[in-house]
Amino acid sequence: MKQKSLLAATDLCVKCGLCLPECPTYQITLNENESPRGRISLIQGWASGDLKASSSLHRHIDNCLLCRSCESVCPAQVPYSRIIDEFRSLAGKGPQRVATKVTLLVSRAVLINQGISRLASRFASFARSSRVLEAISKRSRLTRQLSTFLNDFQPHTQRKTFYPALSANKGCVGLFTGCTGELFDTETIDASIRLLCRLGFDVWLPPEQSCCGALDLHAGNTKKAGMLAATNVRAFDRPELDWVVTLATGCGAMLKEYPDYFPRTEELASKTVDICQLARKVIEDRQMVLRPLNKTILLHAPCSLSNVLKTADAQKDLISSIPGARVEILDQVNCCGAAGSYMLEHPEMANALRGKILAMVRGARPKYLLTPNIGCAMHMKAGLKQIDMATEVIHPIVLLEQQLTSGEAI
């Protein structure tokens, strides 16, 4: 999309305003420039040459979470997220604080480069055990952000590339682990491998797979995102794979939408399936029994699940089928504020949005808060820690696997 086609895309908006009540940043600010309609008008003005890309114009666009709640109610089907991505790709992002820039640079390098991530993992273990993190976190905004990022780092896990099915064979899957998952959520990867093998799948973990590219795409770096997409296409180019299973819904949404941005990605996109969706189908087919659990569980549906994948029913059905579980669905809340790197770039807005979820956790006092997206999990975990709540934040698959099986070693 060039400037002219970007203008044509913004012209699709009929300015009806139906999207405004759905927009989390508009709900908080009540400012038209912080709404979908307002942002589209600003980009329209820039693309037509009437407005300059001033820092205040950039600020309003950058404040968008890309949660896509607006898209899901838009009668004119305005391709809102593509408009934002294209604007950022053509005009870049606005000025950022030094602390934010450094945190983003470090976190990107760590997430994308395996060598750097191993080094960072060792440094994080040392810093935690020697209390360095605690000490530096008090020094400045930058050290606070970096220490929060490093605090949840998990030790590097050496995995096999193949795990055979443990019951009657249902097929062969490739597991997309995601860059963030490998560094911050090895528990979900381990549980997913065990569950998929138990359900009858051979599981491949191609070591060449990389970050899905969502962070780069949404930061306006379309070229880099395209290179990551091409790496993943090569990594999962195996005719024996029936499915490519994603664990984080943010990555799943990105893989599913590759063809909207990058050529020769259709096959990977068509094989991509969210783990809860696949697990529900097999568990229903086999009428597998889950062990009872007499606990309260809050279930969170990330924006990537509700507004892009649109398969939130799968996790709801799976968790509701645990006998004795009191499941409450967090469906009265908007975006939790994590939104990829948004929580690092806009901590004030991210924390304000998280507040509603924390209040619900305080009221329900659940044993578990389940969310299938690692970014949301990290953001909510940090909030719960601040208010001293012991609720465990885990992926629905971790709980499901715990209730389905005693857990064979992998």
Closest CB to ligand SF4 among 65 and 189? 65
Closest CB to ligand SF4 among 81 and 265? 81
What distance in Å separates the CA atoms of residue 389 and residue 382, rounded to the nearest whole number? 10
Q: Compute the residue count for the chain.
A: 410
Strands 392-394 and 171-176: unpaired
Strands 296-299 and 243-246: unpaired
Minimum CB distance to ligand SF4, residue 329 (Å) = 20
User: In 51-185, which ranges are continuous DSSP H helix?
Assistant: 55-62, 69-73, 80-91, 98-112, 114-129, 132-136, 141-151, 179-184
Closest CB to ligand SF4 among 189 and 303? 303
Closest CB to ligand SF4 among 71 and 216? 71
Q: How far is CA 114 from the centre of its chain?
A: 20
What are the structure tokens assigned to 286, written together?
């086999």
Minimum CB distance to ligand SF4, residue 144 (Å) = 25
What distance in Å separates the CA atoms of residue 117 and residue 108, rounded to the nearest whole number? 10
Minimum CB distance to ligand SF4, residue 244 (Å) = 26
Minimum CB distance to ligand SF4, residue 80 (Å) = 6
Minimum CB distance to ligand SF4, residue 158 (Å) = 39
Closest CB to ligand SF4 among 29 and 125? 29
Closest CB to ligand SF4 among 133 and 254? 254
Minimum CB distance to ligand SF4, residue 70 (Å) = 3
The answer to whether 286 and 276 have CB atoms below 8 angstroms apart is no
Using CB under 6 A, list all residues that contact ligand SF4: 13-19, 22-25, 36-37, 39-40, 64-70, 74, 76, 78, 80
Minimum CB distance to ligand SF4, residue 55 (Å) = 19
What distance in Å separates the CA atoms of residue 195 and residue 201, rounded to the nearest whole number? 9
What distance in Å separates the CA atoms of residue 78 and residue 10, rounded to the nearest whole number? 7
Helix axes 36-47, 80-91, angle to 10 degrees: 40
Closest CB to ligand SF4 among 260 and 284? 260
What distance in Å separates the CA atoms of residue 21 and residue 320, rounded to the nearest whole number? 30
Q: Which of 157, 65, 142 lies closest to 105, judged by CA?
A: 142
Closest CB to ligand SF4 among 79 and 259? 79
Minimum CB distance to ligand SF4, residue 29 (Å) = 10
Minimum CB distance to ligand SF4, residue 217 (Å) = 14
What are the structure tokens assigned to 49, written together?
């040459």
Closest CB to ligand SF4 among 65 and 314? 65
What distance in Å separates the CA atoms of residue 199 and residue 201, rounded to the nearest whole number? 6
Per DSSP, the three-state class of 392 is strand
